[in-house]
Amino acid sequence: MRLANKVALVTGASAGLGLAIAQRFGTEGAHVYITGRRKDALDAAKASVEGRVTAVPADVTVSDELDRVVDAIRRESGHLDAVVANAGSIERTNFGAVTEEHFDRTFDVNARGALFTVQKTLPLLRAGSSIVLVGSVAAVKGDPGAGAYSAAKAAVRSYARTWAAEFGDRGLRVNVLSPGPVDTPIIDGQSGYFGLDPAALRKHMSTLVPMGRLGLPDEIANGALFLASDESSFMTGAELCIDGGMAQV
């Protein structure tokens, strides 16, 4: 029970990595607050998380909705011990087809959403708390069709360095969790760009990973648990890559 008596927020927890992280936090004893844009998916996610869980529908790109999340946490728990800024999305398009709308959507959820999630929850974080920003190996890889996404995730990596320096005197830690390709529904949405069906795309992505397979959501959740727990108490401003070696070799 590595998160016993702790209060955690996981954004974008309706499915995929966010859901796996919320489920792991629940089994480790945390009171988990989860957010997502679709109430039906969020309700289903809530039912799958053990222990004490509170679901608050919210879009991290909408300031008023983030305020509603913070208000709910303040009323019910009064504080936070961990924030996992996980909400994100990828929409692949070649450079010549990038539009202002595509750029704004990508940066709104991946970069802007992470910043204001942390800014608005900061007053609730107690000394010793952990902020986990979910990045991506795309931030350091040349990934065709993912220019805006990769740049947004590079901004997330930069946030961790800056905030680790800014928040250190408050006793807060800030780290980045950067997955490689993981077998989640987000892969399905990229199949059109590659001209492959989802199964073929998963096979193709596996060939890009030195370990020869996709990651599993639970493997990423293990990393999030480590960063959120006291086991990483002397770690801040760092990046934990769980990528099967994709960005390492």
Task: Tell me if residue 149 is catalytic.
Answer: yes
Q: CA torsion 94→19→153→79, rounded to 10°?
A: 150
Displacement of CA 90 from its chain's centroid (Å)? 13
Instruction: Print the SS3 string covering 168-214.
Output: HHHCCEEEEEEECCECCHHHHHHHHHHCCCHHHHHHHHHHCCCCCCC
User: What is the three-class DSSP state of 240?
Assistant: strand
| CA dist 31 → 83, 125, 141 (Å) | 12, 14, 36
CA distance 33 to 35: 7
33, 149, 159, 193: the catalytic one is 149
Q: CB 95: neighbour CB atoms within 10 A? A: 9
Residues in the chain: 249
CA gyration radius, the chain: 17
- Where b means 16+ CB within 10 Å and e means fewer, 25-40 reads bbbbbbbbbbbbbeee
Active site (catalytic) residues: 149
